[in-house]
């Protein structure tokens, strides 16, 4: 085996019946794949409470032959196998209870270490969805130059987000539900090549020896969510893969955001329901995403950020802003300070949000952006 390559980590993924969570458990107990394979059958059973058949298989070097073949495949196709114990493994992904023990990366591994946000949505996007995805990605690149846009390289919103990133020279990462170097769908091969040539990456947890059965899309979505500080659902019906990605993000305590749409549009129903059920923060601009993720802007970024324009506010709205302090304030406190009824206050806050001078935070907390 070659020095520095994650041979034992790859081998661990081929141990029959172990699975991702089993591999993660062993890595947590022993600290490394090398230590796992160096352990005795007794240690594996006692320290990790492993079944006897699994412990015996590991002691007998289960997975070693497959790992040799996989490393040969990686060398042939210039794929980087990245173990979870490698310092270059994305720390956000490492926080998952079911993180992939090995990632296979085509392109720039360092792209996984940038500030990341995922864009997901329907494959049957509307012109509205495509336009919004493009504008949000372009805006993020202006505000956060080192941002990496993560998506699934699928049709619709995924592809539009990757293409928008390429167009504005932003790093973008595609997470696949198939083994490399194949690109699915095939029509996105050119997009994938441009992503890699521009410093991005294509990623999968699946080895070349994986038998495709169409059941890897939902597990792939957990990686999209896990890689990212937050997930933006741009356009989604009331069911589908993008909602599963949002659910994973919520489970992992990541920010979930959604772009509102017309209530009569089926392609926006999923987003609108997420917002209505307080499962996602509504985003109307790239700055909303930055605020939701609590990302600091550098001086150059701040200078590039357009100032909030309060010239369109009426006299009552300007006067109402005096009830805000430098710290975020709750809905109830604003109602107490202003004397407005609940309905009148909600309308006032909605108008100020649409004007871009007030932003709602989780828990019915509001902050003034001026």
The pLDDT confidence band at residue 2, using thresholds 50, 70 and 90, is: very low
Provide φ and ψ at 106, rounded to 5°. Answer: -110, 115
Nearest residue to 105 (alpha-carbon basis) of 36, 39, 3, 173: 173
Beta-carbon contacts of 244 under 8 Å, excluding residues fewer than 6 positions away, are: 218, 221
The pLDDT confidence band at residue 16, using thresholds 50, 70 and 90, is: very high
Tell me how far apart the alpha carbons of residues 259 and 270 are, in angstroms, rounded to a whole number: 10
pLDDT at position 362 is 64
> Could you give the 3-state DSSP secondary structure of residue 364?
coil
Tell me how far apart the alpha carbons of residues 186 and 15 are, in angstroms, rounded to a whole number: 31
pLDDT one-digit tens code per residue, 338-359? 999 988 888 888 888 877 788 8
pLDDT one-digit tens code per residue, 266-288? 999 999 999 999 999 999 999 99
Tell me how far apart the alpha carbons of residues 210 and 52 are, in angstroms, rounded to a whole number: 26
Overall size of the chain counted in residues: 370
The whole-number average pLDDT for the span 47-60 is: 95
Percent of the chain with pLDDT over 90: 78
The pLDDT confidence band at residue 4, using thresholds 50, 70 and 90, is: low
Nearest residue to 35 (alpha-carbon basis) of 99, 83, 88: 83
The whole-number average pLDDT for the span 5-12 is: 94
pLDDT one-digit tens code per residue, 87-110? 999 999 999 999 999 999 999 999
- DSSP β-ladder status, 147-151 and 171-175: parallel
pLDDT at position 353 is 82
Tell me how far apart the alpha carbons of residues 162 and 107 are, in angstroms, rounded to a whole number: 15
pLDDT one-digit tens code per residue, 56-94? 999 999 999 999 999 999 999 999 999 999 999 999 999
The whole-number average pLDDT for the span 283-310 is: 70
DSSP-assigned letters across all residues of 101-169: SEEEEEE-GGGGGSEEEEEEE-SS--HHHHHHHHHHHHHHHHH-TTEEEEE---TTHHHHHHHHHHHTT
> Could you give the 3-state DSSP secondary structure of residue 203?
strand
DSSP-assigned letters across all residues of 251-277: HTT-EEEE----TT-GGGHHHHHHHHT
Tell me how far apart the alpha carbons of residues 70 and 331 are, in angstroms, rounded to a whole number: 56
pLDDT at position 305 is 45
pLDDT at position 71 is 97
Q: Which residue has the tokens 């059965």?
A: 213
Stated as kind and residue range, the H or E segment containing 281 is strand 281-282
| Domains of the chain (ranges, CATH numbers) | 7-107 (no CATH), 109-293 (3.40.50.450), 307-368 (1.10.10.10)
Percent of the chain with pLDDT over 70: 94
pLDDT at position 3 is 38
pLDDT one-digit tens code per residue, 137-182? 999 999 999 999 999 999 999 999 999 999 999 999 999 999 999 9
Whether the predicted pLDDT of 301 surpasses 50? no
The pLDDT confidence band at residue 6, using thresholds 50, 70 and 90, is: very high
The pLDDT confidence band at residue 248, using thresholds 50, 70 and 90, is: very high
Average pLDDT over the chain reads 91
The whole-number average pLDDT for the span 314-325 is: 89
pLDDT at position 367 is 87
Q: Which residue has the tokens 């019915």?
A: 364
């Amino acid at each position: 085996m070659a020095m520095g390559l994650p041979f034992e980590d790859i081998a661990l993924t081929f141990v029959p019946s172990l699975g991702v969570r089993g591999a993660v458990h062993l890595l947590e107990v022993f600290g490394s794949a090398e230590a796992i394979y160096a352990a005795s059958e007794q240690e594996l059973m006692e320290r990790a409470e492993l079944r006897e058949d699994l412990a015996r298989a590991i002691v007998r070097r289960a997975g070693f032959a497959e790992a040799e073949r996989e490393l040969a495949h990686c060398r042939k196709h210039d794929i980087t196998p990245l173990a979870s114990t490698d310092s270059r493994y994305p720390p956000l992904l490492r926080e998952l209870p079911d993180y992939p023990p090995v990632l296979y990366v085509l392109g720039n591994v360092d792209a996984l270490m940038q500030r990341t946000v995922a864009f997901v949505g329907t494959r049957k996007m509307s012109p509205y969805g495509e336009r919004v995805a493009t504008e949000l990605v372009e805006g993020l690149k202006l505000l956060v130059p080192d941002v990496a846009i993560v998506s699934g390289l699928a049709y619709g919103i995924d592809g539009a987000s990757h293409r928008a990133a390429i167009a504005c020279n932003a790093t973008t990462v595609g997470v696949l539900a198939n083994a490399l170097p194949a690109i699915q769908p095939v029509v996105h091969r050119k997009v994938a090549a441009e992503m890699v040539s521009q410093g991005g990456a294509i990623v999968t947890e699946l080895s070349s020896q994986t038998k495709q059965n169409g059941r890897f899309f939902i597990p792939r979505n957990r990686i999209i969510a896990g890689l990212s500080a937050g997930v933006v659902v741009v356009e989604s019906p009331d069911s589908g893969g993008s909602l599963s990605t949002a659910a994973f993000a919520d489970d992992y305590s990541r920010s979930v955001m959604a772009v509102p749409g017309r209530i009569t549009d089926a392609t926006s129903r999923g987003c609108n329901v997420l917002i209505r059920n307080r499962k996602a923060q509504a985003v109307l601009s790239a700055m909303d995403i930055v605020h939701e993720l609590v990302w600091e802007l550098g001086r150059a970024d701040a200078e590039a950020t357009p100032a909030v324009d309060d010239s369109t506010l009426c006299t009552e709205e300007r006067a109402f802003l005096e009830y805000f302090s430098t710290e975020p304030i709750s809905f109830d406190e604003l109602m107490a300070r202003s004397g407005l009824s609940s309905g009148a206050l909600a309308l006032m806050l909605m108008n100020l949000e649409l004007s871009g001078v007030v932003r709602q935070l989780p828990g019915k907390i509001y902050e003034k952006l001026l």
